[in-house]
Amino acid sequence: MTSVVLSIGSNVGDRMVWLQSVVDGLDGVVAVSPVYETDAWGGVEQAPFLNAVVIADDPALDAHGWLRRAHELEDAAQRVRGQRWGPRTLDVDVVTCRDGDGEMTVHDEVLILPHPYAHVRAFVLVPWSAVDSGATLTVAGRVSAVEQLLGAVDQAERAGVRMTDLALRIGNETIG
């Protein structure tokens, strides 16, 4: 059994439809965070994002399988990979994967896990801590609580992650 933490975001088109497409497109969704609106990250001038975190389990997927599934979901949302950190219909990042032995570490030409920037991105840490207050992430070989990592992020960036009254659904259940 592998468990994954996915960070999802959208700032083009019907942002909520794109986020919901991820939840609807995954088997084994365990939890979904509230939806947050965030300023774009990465220095490219663009519209704000809606962001959330999804936690899912699937015994058939390994870390690379989760990455393939993330790309399939982005492709289904007609994501265009033009400008790095530019506007997009859907962004699905694999933040971390766990199996029976704990957190997986991957470092190859297509995937790095844990995600190399997750620990400095408030738009990942805020929703993740909201959906799993006991979450941990390995950074530079050291396991840290997500809450602790969030406390180290600049206050201005944390303030840029604003909870909305929007909510995603798992099946017929509205979350958030």
Cα–Cα separations (whole angstroms), residue 69 to 14, 74, 122, 154, 167: 21, 9, 24, 32, 23
pLDDT by residue for the chain (176 residues), tens only, comes to 689 999 999 998 999 999 999 999 998 999 999 999 998 766 667 789 999 999 999 989 999 999 999 999 988 887 666 656 667 889 999 999 999 778 998 999 999 999 989 999 999 999 999 999 999 999 989 999 999 999 999 999 999 999 999 999 998 776 66
Query: Rounded CA gap, 161 and 28, in Å?
Result: 27
Angle between helical axes of 63-76 and 15-25 (0-180°, round to 10): 140
In this prediction the pTM is 0.93
Q: Which domains does the chain have, with CATH numbers?
A: 2-164 (3.30.70.560)
Rama region for 141: left / alpha / beta (φ>0; ψ in -120 to 50; rest): left
Q: Report helix, strand or coil for 173.
A: strand
Confidence at residue 86, expressed as pLDDT on a 0 to 100 scale: 64
Confidence at residue 46, expressed as pLDDT on a 0 to 100 scale: 78
For residue 119, give the DSSP letter.
G
For residue 120, give the DSSP letter.
G
What is the sign, positive or negative, of the torsion defined by CA atoms of 73, 169, 102, 128? positive
Measured torsion, CA atoms of residues 156, 158, 162, 167, in degrees rounded to the nearest 10:
170
For residue 40, give the DSSP letter.
-
